Amino acid sequence: MAPSTYEILCRQVVTCPSLKEPEVPHGKPPVPVEKKVLVTLWYLGSQDTSKQISDRFNITESTVIKCIGNVIDALGVHLRRHYIKWPNDQEKAVISNYYFNKNGFPGIIGFIDGTHVEIKAPPRNDKQVFINRKGYYSMNIQAVCREDMSHLYTHVCVGWPGNVNDSRVVRNSDLWDNNHLFGERHLIGDGGYPCKSWLIIPYRNDGNLTQAQRRFNYLLSSNRSIIERSFGRVKGRFRRLMLLNCRSVKKTIKVIMSCFVLHNVCIMSNDDLEGLNIEENGLNDNLGHNPAGVLENDAQGANKRDILRRQIVGE
């Protein structure tokens, strides 16, 4: 993170209730907000233990844990609503025009996908629900991003266990059939999602696709790779997401959300580091399509996809 972005961040969090500490007469002075932010950024950007961080910043381990808790509360509760926002009507028009001018694909206002963050086995009786299909504990994060703002996130949903598929996550999110968010426009997703008027996915490849359908799938998938690259950037910048070892699921959610908020803080401060990319693990690759999602396709969504195909590649 650039020094100028760090200064912006400190100014933003200093007014948050979780960062305010009363001064105790004759007691130890509270840790300055600037130091709390530095400690948290180091924690999120590394895999260092609390002991290693305490040595680096010359504070106790308990103070390290408290600093991190204060800052991630500020990020996840207070700054989130300022930095992760659904586009307004004017912004939707800008995003849509960007993609139409780029490759002739109309109506796009974002790309949706899920990514898994590996976690240590959570201390709860139902921990097996966090085991994903590759056999390790994880949390499935759903996000929507836009390319025209260097992979800025406009929606993030954190908290679903690793064995829950993308289709179920979106069905239970506030995006589901919330038509006023989209109007006549739509998101682009992969075959793990149902086809809706507001969520366009590839045609299911059952071996009988027409040339036009295959071409449409290719163009859609080439656009959709944007969301995968955005996940790589977040995990590249915030290495804590390579493996999270938190004492509770609640803290795990806060840490993950904080990373996405900070990603947007950096993007909106023109602090974007292209080289910090981590390749995605493929858990959310649904090019073969999720059969559960097929049952949720609706006629309106399928009809809209056909109209888009004819507009872009013909019959």
Residues 54, 92 within the same domain = no
- The SS3 assignment for 159 reads strand
Q: What is the pLDDT of residue 29?
A: 80
Q: What is the pLDDT of residue 205?
A: 87
**144, two tokens:** 């929507």
**22: β partners:** none
DSSP characters for 11-80? HHHTTSGGG--PPPTTSPPPPPHHHHHHHHHHHHTS---HHHHHHHHTS-HHHHHHHHHHHHHIIIIIIH
Final residue before a domain boundary, out of 82, 103, 137: 82
Residues 142, 181 within the same domain = yes
Query: How many CA atoms, within 13 angstroms, populate the side-chain half-sphere of residue 118?
Result: 14
Residues 137, 282 within the same domain = yes
Amino acid of residue 79: L
Print the domain residue range for 48.
3-82
Residues 185, 256 within the same domain = yes
How many separate helices (H) and strands (E) can be counted in the chain?
A: 11, 5
- The SS3 assignment for 108 reads strand
Residues 74, 109 within the same domain = no
In the chain, the number of structural domains is 2
Final residue before a domain boundary, out of 82, 104, 125: 82
Measured CA to CA in angstroms, residue 5 lies from 12, 79, 138, 267, 296 at distances of 11, 14, 30, 10, 43
Residues of the chain with pLDDT under 50: 287-294
How is residue 121 annotated by DSSP? P
CA 95 – CA 101 distance, rounded (Å): 10
Residues 141, 13 within the same domain = no
Residues 248, 224 within the same domain = yes
Residues 42, 180 within the same domain = no
- Cα torsion through 51, 260, 235, 161, rounded to 10: 90
Final residue before a domain boundary, out of 82, 112, 134: 82
Contacts 24+ apart (CB under 8 A), 14-19: 16/73, 16/74, 16/77, 16/78, 16/79, 17/78, 18/69, 18/70, 18/71, 18/73, 18/74, 18/77, 18/78, 19/70, 19/71, 19/74
- Is the pTM above the cut of 0.95? no
Q: What is the pLDDT of residue 289?
A: 43
Q: What is the pLDDT of residue 293?
A: 47
The distance of Cα 222 from the centroid of its chain, to the nearest Å, equals: 19
- Cα torsion through 270, 271, 277, 280, rounded to 10: -60
Residues 92, 237 within the same domain = yes
Residues 148, 22 within the same domain = no
Residues 219, 292 within the same domain = yes
Residues 184, 198 within the same domain = yes
CA 229 – CA 219 distance, rounded (Å): 17
